[in-house]
Amino acid sequence: MMIKKRCPYCKGQGAVPGDEPGVSVQPCPVCSQRGYNLVPDDALMCGLCQGTGRSLGGGRSWKVCPECKGIGSRW
């Protein structure tokens, strides 16, 4: 069974800070502005990002976790 889980990448806001000059916010690339993701009820927390959906990219900026694709859970 799938359950709704708050998107850890945008913290349920559906948007994230813009990464281009002049763009203050942009749609969350993980949940597509929903603020949640559907995950299996037996999903486990991602070991790489510890459930945050983020990993530190080059230049000390946050990127979508490559292991869980930003969902914060693995199954």
pLDDT band at 22 (very low <50, low <70, confident <90, very high): confident
Residues 37-62 have pLDDT tens digits of 999 999 999 999 999 999 987 777 78
Question: For residue 61, what pLDDT is reported?
Answer: 78
- Average pLDDT score over residue span 25-43: 96
Cα–Cα dist 16/6, whole Å: 14
pLDDT at 21 over 90: no
Question: For residue 47, what pLDDT is reported?
Answer: 96
Query: How many of the other CB atoms lie within 10 Å of CB of 51?
Result: 18
Output the pTM of the full model: 0.87
Selection from 3, 1, 5, 75 nearest residue 45 by Cα: 75
